[in-house]
Amino acid sequence: MKKLMKCLLFGIPISALLYFSIQCYFELHGGTPWGKHSYQLEVENYLATTYPNLKTQIESVNYSFIEMRYTAHVSTTNELNFYVEEGYRGIWDNYPQALWAEEATKICTAFLSIHRTNAKCDVGLDGSGGINDIPNPIPNYEEVQEQLYSSLEVNVRFNIKLAGTETDYIEILELKKLLEAAKISQQISFLYDDVAFFDISTQIDTIQELQKKAFKRLTPSGYSTTRKHKPNP
């Protein structure tokens, strides 16, 4: 009996510590297999109930150790990507927001193609865009455009390097004014292969002000926040 008690006294804490260590390891690396499986089943049921006519595929399920919640990345048959995650009000998704961002991207791209053939537009929307209670059916982009104006982010991408001439800067300022007139977003960025101009606000109207916003690209996915791009004379 004493041996049994010793085994229990030492075995239970060790087992608990081992379980806790395994749990922490998996959570630090995207979630436990059983947690992912359970959440995937929950998301599948949620999607089937919320969007019964929408064909979707769960691409991945990950756990955020910092936010302490699971997120499922989902795609549709027409290659629209959105996510489903745990929120303070339960599970929610950004499918309507993804639809609106896609429609805004099409409008922006068509608008840009008239003025610049080698520029592409990418409109992003982070979170709910301030619209939490979405009616059914989902309203189209034109119906919520005014509400999304301060939340959408427009990225104009050029698959070229910036020459840095005065003509280039004038063109950026002109495109900025045209996009502002389109009323898609008040947050507009211009991205070149080597330089980026982030969040060009309405207050920036001169070449000198624009040059101060230039960040030199260091890697394919990042920009320096210290080394400014110097224009060619």
- 121 and 109 Cβ atoms separated by less than 8 Å: yes
- 107 and 182 Cβ atoms separated by less than 8 Å: yes
Verify that 136 and 200 share a domain, yes or no: yes
Residues 12-61: pLDDT tens digits? 454 444 434 444 434 443 457 778 889 999 999 999 999 999 999 999 99
Among candidate residues 93, 115, 144, the one where a domain is terminated: 93
233 belongs to a structural domain: no
Euclidean distance between CA atoms 109 and 104, whole angstroms: 8
Verify that 15 and 105 share a domain, yes or no: no
Its domain, for residue 200, covers: 96-228
Q: How many structural domains are present in the chain?
A: 2
Residues 53-91: pLDDT tens digits? 999 999 999 888 777 789 999 999 888 999 999 877 789
Verify that 81 and 103 share a domain, yes or no: no
pTM: 0.75
Verify that 11 and 88 share a domain, yes or no: yes
Residues 112-156: pLDDT tens digits? 888 776 788 999 987 788 887 888 889 999 999 999 988 899 999
**Neighbour count for residue 74 (Cβ, 10 Å):** 25
